[in-house]
Structure 1
Amino acid sequence: MSEEYDALVRNGTWELMPSNPSQNVVGCKWIFRTKRNSDGSIDRFKARLVAKGFHQRPGIDYYDTFSPVVKPTTIRFVLSVAVSNGWILRQLDVNNAFLQGTLTENVYMTQPPGFIDQDSPSHVCKLKKAIYGLKQAPRAWYQELRSFLLQSGFTNSHADTSLFVLKFRGHLVYFLVYVDDLIITGDDEHLVNQYIHLLANRFSLKDLGKLSYFLGVEIVPNSQGFLLSQRRYLIDLLARTHMSEAKPVQTPLPSGTKISLHSGDKLSDPTEFQAVVGSLQYLILTRLDIAFAVNKLSQFMHTPTTEHWTLAKRLLRYLCGTPDHSLQLYCDSPLSFHAFSDALHAYSNADWAGDPDDFSSTSAYIVYLGRNPISWSSKKQKTIARSSTEAEYRSVANTAAKLNWVSSLLCDLGIQLPTCPIIYCDNVGATQVCSNPVFHSRMKHVAIDFHFIRDQVQKGILRVAHVSSTDQLADLLTKSLPRARFLFLRDKIGLSCRAPS
């Protein structure tokens, strides 16, 4: 507590001033937590002074609060490029990050408990810098860091505002920001170290060395590149739900399962179901094999039943048998700047009228950069499709929108593709509709925003190609599959089994 208080004082976080009845004084309290390493061992004990932001009044004590964080797709994208080109990956942690942001509003806070000024016990703290707990604290910190990086020569990506790119004398440096956790990589180690030193002179940094543990994801080097593993998170989840010794199963859901909203009896207390499914959503960061099952269970969060809870426990049993499965990023994937041919491609699929309640379809895609999966989605379509072709066409359109965003991210990173991206679809009709306007009569009821894909195909920006249903990898994310089919696709999509620690 003393160390934290001294850091606040050194930083000039506040100044004491007499209290006034017109002031809206925000309270504060001390928060204590234990920070752990990736193996579960204790890293350090931490005390943090937190303002009671719920006392703040909108439009008076704060205005804008939104602060962007780097997208998971961007992280996997940059890691894929780095591992394919053999770049160094460094991880940084900013000490007291939120205390660096400068406030533009007048915010008053009570003096910290246990550290009341004896000469002015009735004074309040007028905050000059942001503090944890304030509504605008994340935004103030992001703006402070962004301003410094832009002044240092970086440019802010338009595709992801938490990505910063430096192009200096033919060299590249990428900088990823997730609140106070930072990743920096580039093709010149000396240049990377130079900017780390520059950043350390402006902010109080902790250099964590090579990237090994980021946002609960462990980066495990191996002979093929490295694995992105959430094993520790999964083990903790299984222990918390008392499923560590459960009998494993080989698929997340029973084959051909049609999960209905009204099947089973309504749970008297849905809290545990909601907590488990919410935790599983975070696990999709590296486990795309459970994306369909988690998406399906998430549709019943508002009124879960006994059958939904049974299926959630079955999913935990599947994870109990596969704790070491992780996302493999290959170093021999053709992602170098001189071998980028046909690197960006995606698989798109849809399960027509698979929902037994409203007969809506499920769209799914997996986007690959070379051999590395960097983005995936399994999501219920918002409108009902009148045919399998329409369902597949909508899914291809959603995939095209994602590829457009990934392509703009490529441009921001200074990478240019020699060939246009490809979408593989196993529906012949949907593939033809993407390029053949003769089929318009069949699709005239489809919203116009889905037809943008035709313009892209005709202009050569995108290509939609047919793939056999056997090789359709996105099939894994659209429905519950038989065991043999599920295991076949799981082995192909890019998951590997790490050596148990």
Structure 2
Amino acid sequence: MHLSSSTKKSGSTLYLLVYVDDIIATESSCTELSNLISTLAARFSLKDLGCLNYFLGFEVISSATGLFLSQRKYITDLLHKSGMANTKRAFTPLFASAQLLKDLGDLLPCPTEYRALVGSLQYLSLTRPDIAFSTNKLAQFMQHPRTTHWSSLKRVLRYLAGSCNKDWVGDKDDYISTTGYLLYLGSTLISSWSSRKQRFVTRSSTEAEYKALADTASELLWVLSLFTELGHMPTTNPVIYCDNLSATTLSVNPVFHSRMKHIALAYHFVRENVQKGKFRVSFVSTDDQLADILTKPLLHPRFDSLLSKLHLSSRSSNLQEDINYNN
């Protein structure tokens, strides 16, 4: 389009994020943004709301260190709607020993509220990876939720009430593993994480981890493609950290081990891309694996430690001042 060519001549880059009739616009400098708004306003009914501070339920707060994304108001509204605004705080979303099974407990007489609340949690997990695993787990019982699932759902809400500001064969119903990954841009966690069940039962921990590695690689390649399209080529090869030594070795070893013959060929694109130099796979100890928060319920000390490493457990004093000022 004409705006793109004029932008290239001026040396700046414009970015537009469009959702239905809501638009976020930004650029690498301040020379073309006003021209863009004027051009759009000449053809469409447009209202300029100024600097970004709220978008689709997300609060956007500027600080000296960057942008802080929060769904605090969304959480507050959700707690009031569910009657949990003044509930007692829980320190983790799920008990570490929680056994959530599809036939355990009595069926809820009306599952509508359960389904609505889990749906709200799914949207909330866009900025809260700390509830991604529990939300994914509770969503597996949407068809026939029971009292045990309802109790666990209320615990997640109790956890949110106290935190507005900030495994192979893991499922005993069908023995399907859970995949979890986190993507970082430098030292910053970006909104590209996942906690979901794999589609098939695996025969070994290596196979489960290798499938999770393939899912992570697929997401990483998509993010790299997006950044390339936006004009930001990576200066170094990305690294995927895996806490299973066998899966890590399999991703770089050109020899196809006989005990891995049953793994679908589609998952071996990991090894192909490693050989092409698209990314590296490196071993990391289980104690240092941040994605554990997405694959299993954890005890409070371990959960709190991972929250701190994800920069979700506290806010800096300067950022808190910015938040108070904006409110």
TM-score range with shorter-chain normalisation?
over 0.9
Aligned: 1:368 with 2:209: no
SS for the counterpart of 1:434 is helix
Residue matched to 2:175:
359
- Matched position secondary structure for 2:281: strand
Name 2:288's counterpart in structure 1: 471
Distance 1:395 1:386 in 2: 14
How far did 1:396 drift? 0.5
Q: Is the 8 A contact 2:132 2:294 kept in 1?
A: yes
Q: Taking structure 1 as reference, are residues 168 and 479 closer, same or farther at Cα in structure 2, changes over 3 Å only?
A: farther
Question: Offset of 1:166 from its aligned partner?
Answer: 5.4
Return the alpha-carbon distance in structure 2 between the equivalents of residues 318 and 206 of structure 1.
Answer: 38
- Corresponding residue to 1:405 among 219, 222, 230: 222
Is 1:247 matched up with 2:88? yes
Contact 1:167 1:173 in 2 (8 A): no
Superposition map of 1:116-155 within 5 A: 150-153=1-4
Return the alpha-carbon distance in structure 1 between the equivalents of residues 214 and 175 of structure 2: 20
| Matched residue, 1:275 | 116
The whole-number CA distance in structure 2 between the counterparts of 1:448 and 1:439 is 11
For residues 270 and 447 of structure 1, the distance between their equivalents in structure 2, rounded to whole angstroms, comes to 38
- 2: CA distance, partners of 1:470 / 1:318: 24
Partner residue of 1:202 out of 43, 48, 69: 43
Gaps of 5+ in 2: none
Q: Which residue of 1 aligns with 2:164?
A: 323
Are residues 281 and 272 of structure 1, via their aligned partners in 2, closer, same or farther at CA, if it must alter by over 3 Å?
Answer: same
Asked if 1:217 corresponds to 2:217, the answer is no
1:193 aligns with 2:34: yes
Stretches of 4+ moved more than 6 A in 1?
none
**Counterpart position of 1:440:** 257
Q: Could you tell me how far 1:394 is from its partner in structure 2? A: 0.3
Higher RCO (Cα < 8 Å, 6 or more apart): 2
Please tell me whether Structure 1 or Structure 2 has the larger radius of gyration of its CA atoms: 1
**Corresponding position: 1:459 with 2:276:** yes
- Matched residue SS, 2:73: helix
Q: 1:390 aligns with which of 207, 216, 228?
A: 207
Give 3-state SS (helix, strand or coil) of 1:234's partner: helix
Aligned to 1:232: 73
Measured in 1, the distance between the counterparts of 2:102 and 2:63 equals 43
Q: Could you state the TM-score of these two structures normalised by the residue count of structure 1?
A: 0.62
Deviation at 1:167, TM superposition (A): 3.5
Q: 1:151 Cα deviation (Å)?
A: 4.6
User: 1:221 Cα deviation (Å)?
Assistant: 1.9
| Counterpart contact for 2:239–2:279, Cα < 8 Å | yes
Quote the residue 1:62 is aligned against.
none
Question: Residue in 2 aligned with 1:114?
Answer: none
Q: How many residues align?
A: 317
**1:49 aligned partner:** none
Correspondences of 1:162-173 after superposition (within 5 Å): 167-173=8-14
Amino acid paired to 2:118: V
Secondary structure in 2 matching 1:368: strand
User: How far off its partner does 1:268 sit?
Assistant: 1.1
SS in 2 for 1:185: strand
For 1:402 and 1:168, how far apart are their aligned partners in 2?
33
Structure 2 distance, partners of 1:457, 1:238, is 45
Check whether the contact 1:256–1:479 (CA below 8 A) recurs between aligned residues: no
Q: State the 1:441 CA deviation.
A: 1.5
**3-state secondary structure, aligned to 2:176:** coil
Pairs within 5 Å for 1:260-271? 260-271=101-112
1:438 offset after TM fit, Å? 2.6
Distance in 2 between residues matched to 1:179 and 1:262, nearest whole Å? 41
Q: Is the 8 A contact 2:94 2:155 kept in 1?
A: yes
1:450 has 2:267 as partner? yes
- After TM superposition, give the deviation of residue 168 of structure 1 in Å: 3.7
TM-score (norm 2): 0.94
Question: Which residue identity does 2:77 align to in structure 1?
Answer: D
Alpha carbons 1:435, 1:457 under 8 Å: kept? yes
Contact 1:421 1:461 in 2 (8 A): yes
Alignment of 1:51-200 (within 5 A): 150-153=1-4, 167-200=8-41
Comparing 225-234 with 244-253, which one deviates more in the overlay? Answer: 225-234
**Which structure has more strand as a fraction of its residues?**
1
**1:105-164 CA deviation, whole Å, 9 max, x = no partner?**
xxxxxxxxxxxxxxxxxxxxxxxxxxxxxxxxxxxxxxxxxxxxx35337xxxxxxxxxx
Name the CA distance, whole Å, in 1 between partners of 2:7 and 2:187. Answer: 26
Identical aligned pairs, as a percentage?
51
- Per the alignment, in what secondary structure is the counterpart of residue 218 of structure 1? strand
Cα shift at 1:192: 1.3
**Residue in structure 1 matched with residue 150 of structure 2 by the alignment:** 309
Secondary structure at the residue paired with 2:232? Answer: coil
When residues 167 and 446 of structure 1 are mapped into structure 2, their CA distance, relative to the original with a 3 A threshold, is farther
Q: In the TM superposition, what whole-angstrom CA distance separates every residue of 1:285-338 from its partner, at most 9, and x where no partner exists?
A: 11110000000000000000000000000100000111111xxxxxxxxxxxxx
How far has the Cα of 1:464 moved from its partner?
Answer: 0.3
Q: What does residue 86 of structure 1 align with?
A: none
**Partner residue of 2:297 out of 480, 496, 499:** 480
Q: After superposition, give the CA deviation of every residue in 1:71-96 in whole Å (9 maximum; x if it has no partner).
A: xxxxxxxxxxxxxxxxxxxxxxxxxx
Computed over aligned residues only, the root mean square deviation of the Cα atoms, in angstroms, reads 1.5
Amino acid paired to 1:462: F
